[in-house]
Amino acid sequence: MTTFPMWEKIDQQRRRLFSAAAMAIAAAQFGVIRSANSQPGKTKLPAIKPGTHTSFGPLKQIDAGALNVGYAEAGPADGPAVILLHGWPYDIYSFVDVAPLLASAGYRVIVPYLRGYGTTRFLSSETPRNGQQSAVAVDIIALMDALKIQNATIGGFDWGARTADIIAALWPERCKALVSVSGYLIGSQEAGKAPLPPKAELQWWYQYYFATERGRDGYDKYRHDFSKLIWQLASPKWDFDDATFDRTATSFDNPDHVAIVIHNYRWRLGLAEGEPKYDDLEKRLAEAPVITVPTITLEGDANGAPHPDPSAYAKKFTGKYSFRSISGGIGHNLPQEAPQAFAEAIVDVGES
């Protein structure tokens, strides 16, 4: 689950466009219907019902920076690149319906497991199990280098949205366009020191739990049940079944998962140190840099997780920008709950 910079106003406004139309996409490997490079005007995506797909094709692995990254890939190798980034406690299955939609329109879609999730592994046992925000962003830049992707449209939610925001802010030449659920999520340890009103602090209970050794042990022991509780709280109107949750929950068996999650949240509160090699990046992020690339931000009308009011961050996007509210009981895991709306945002921002 994500949190947001302290200067942002907390709000519970939620809305969202939800597509419930049925859809059939041909292709065992999310086959290509047409090339996104050659479409005159706006690309029209077929309608899809959330939950239509339950699997990706065979996953791939590649060495990239400090990691051996596990990822799903769909679409033509020469299509415009799209990178989709998940959050906590979620994984690549948040995009299991989005990926084939985009692949059907000719996009090359890359959906990686972040450090500490799924089949992604550290290459060295000596590498610190560091979850700070800049480290995760550097992982994705390294993945792009390994895959020889010069730039891509990048979309994400929760940790993934923050990571996408960071890449767009610090490496705009690598980010053609951006789709960010809940908007501008770049933070800093200094901002994390500021107290919030009591009702806002209550929403952050899990961070304070993780700040204790009891919390670390509890998450380690009950990571399945803990994560399901977060799903329920963050998406109170999403009626997901056990099979849907269990497909993702296997990603939390990663041997570094608990260490990465705990370090991430402790680092945000200033309770854990980062790696010195990221200090310069964190100094730049602490200045809350503007994002200049074309951007669409999204928010669901039933997001039960802490999230900022769109008006609080609109000025952080100085390029072509629009905000979309998505209605229909859409919660925190927006790409999985409303894949049509998310995929359409990816297409629209990339064609802007």
Q: Is 76 or 35 the better-scoring residue by pLDDT? A: 76
Task: Please state the rounded mean pLDDT for residues 233-261.
Answer: 98
pLDDT of residue 4: 46
pLDDT of residue 2: 58
User: Mean pLDDT, the chain, as a whole number?
Assistant: 91
Tens of pLDDT, residue by residue over 206-244, are 999 999 999 999 999 999 999 999 999 999 999 999 999
pLDDT band per the 50, 70, 90 thresholds, residue 352: confident
Q: What's the CA gap between 209 and 227, in Å, rounded? A: 14
Lookup: tokens for 156: 């994400």
pTM score: 0.89
pLDDT of residue 41: 58
Q: Which domains does the chain have, with CATH numbers?
A: 36-350 (3.40.50.1820)
Q: What is the 3-state secondary structure (H, E, C) of 103-155?
A: HHCCCEEEEECCCCCCCCEECCCCCCCCCCHHHHHHHHHHHHHHCCCCCEEEE
Q: What is the 3-state secondary structure (H, E, C) of 181-234?
A: ECCCCCCCCCHHHCCCCHHHHHHCHHHHHHCCHHHHHHHHHCHHHHHHHHHHHH
Q: Does the pLDDT of residue 162 top 50, yes or no?
A: yes
Q: What's the CA gap between 73 and 108, in Å, rounded? A: 7
Measured in degrees and rounded to the nearest 5, phi and psi for residue 322 equal: -150, 155
Lookup: tokens for 82: 């799209």
Tens of pLDDT, residue by residue over 26-45, are 333 333 333 343 344 588 99
pLDDT of residue 15: 35
Q: Which element (helix H / strand E) includes 284?
A: helix 279-286
Q: Which element (helix H / strand E) includes 71?
A: strand 67-74
Are 318 and 9 a contacting pair, CB within 8 Å? no
Lookup: tokens for 94: 């948040």
Contact residues for 42 (Cβ-Cβ < 8 A; gap 6+):
347, 348, 351
Tens of pLDDT, residue by residue over 295-328, are 999 999 999 999 999 999 999 999 999 999 999 9
